[in-house]
Amino acid sequence: MPTAPRSPTREDARLRDPAWHLRLTMAVLAALLLWPMLVASEFKPWQLLDAHSLAASGRFLASFVPPALDRDFLVLVAQSAWITVAIATAGLTLGWLGAVPLTLLGTARLSQSSVGRPMRPLPALGRQAVRWLLIFLRSVPELVWALLFVRVVGLGPTAGVLAIALTYTGMLGKVYSEVLESTEAGPSEALLRNGSSRLGAFFYGALPQAAPELTSYTIFRWECAVRSSVIMGFVGGGGLGQQMDMSMKMLAGGEVATMLIVFMMLVALADHVSRLLRDRLA
C-alpha cells in the first residue's frame, strides 16, 4: 500500500527546528544582557567613522610608512630595547631572590614540624601568612606596582625593576612551592626524619627531582618579564615602552612603527631563546 502524501503543514512542522523556543529565549536574554554593556562601555563605533577622527587616524596611520630609520633614532631604539631587557632581567633576579626564601619557608614538604604528625598550629599559621603575602604580591597588577613606584622613585627603570621584582616574587614563590609540593615525598621525608635540616632536605631531597621544572619555569617567566617591562614603560618605567609612549603622544607614526617592529622582534627573540633553553632542559 503506497503511503499517502503528507500534507504540506505536517512537512513544515517536521522541518521546524525543535529547539527554536530555547534559541529564541537565549537570543532575547543575550540582547537584554548586551544592551547595558554597550551603554557602559560607551560603544559608539560610528565615532570612528566621523570625518574629523577618520582624517586624524588616517594621517597617523599614513605616517607609519616609512618607518623611522635614521641612524640616531635606531641607536636610541637599540638602547631602549636593551634597557627593556635589562629591566626584565634585573627585576626577575630580584624577584627570584625574594621568592626562594619565601618558598623555603612556605613549602610544607620541607617542614620539620610536620614529620610524622600533623603540622603544629604555629608553623601552619606561618605558612598561611607566607601564602597570603605571595597572593597579595601577585594580585596587584605589575602595572599598578609600577605606577606606585614611579611616585616614590620618579620616572625611570628603578620603578620598573621594583614592580617586576614584587609581582614575580609572588608568582615564582607560588609556582616553586607547588612544584616542590608535587615532588615525591620519600627522599625529603627520609632526610627530615633522620635529623636533616630543612635546607638539607631541600638540596638533597626535593631539588634534584624538581630542578628541571623549576629552571624551565624561571626561563619562561623571563620571557614574560620582557613583555611586561615594555608595558611598564608606558607609565614611566623606562625602556622601549616609554619611548613608544612619547612617540605616540607626538603622533610620530614612523617612530611608532619602527618601535613596534623592534618590540615584536624582541619578544620573538626572547620567546626563541626561552624555548631553546627549555627544550634543552627537557
Query: Interface with another protein by CB under 8 A: which residues?
Result: 34, 36-38, 40-44, 47-48, 53, 56-57, 60, 82-83, 85-87, 89-90, 93, 139-141, 143-144, 147-148, 151-154, 156-158, 161, 227, 230-231, 234-235, 241, 244-245, 248, 251, 256, 260, 263-264, 267-268, 277, 280
Of 149 and 176, nearer to another protein (C-beta) is 149
| Residue type at position 231 | I
Closest separation between CB of residue 173 and another protein, Å?
Answer: 17
C-beta closer to another protein: residue 60 or 123: 60
Distance of alpha carbon 193 from alpha carbon 28, whole angstroms: 64
> Does residue 101 have a cis peptide bond before it, meaning omega lies within 30 degrees of 0?
no
Nearer to another protein, 66 or 208 (CB): 208
Cite the beta strand spans of the chain per DSSP E: none
Nearer to another protein, 183 or 218 (CB): 218
Residue 63, amino acid:
S
Nearest to 202 by CA among 135, 119, 112, 125: 112
- Output the smallest distance, CB 37 to another protein, in A: 4
Using alpha carbons only, how large is the chain's radius of gyration in Å? 28
Question: CA 122 → CA 2, 117, 134, 202, distances in Å?
Answer: 87, 14, 19, 21
CB of 103 to another protein, least distance (A): 19
Tell me how crowded residue 147 is: count the other CB atoms within 10 A of its CB.
16
Report the nearest approach of another protein to the CB of residue 139 (Å). Answer: 5
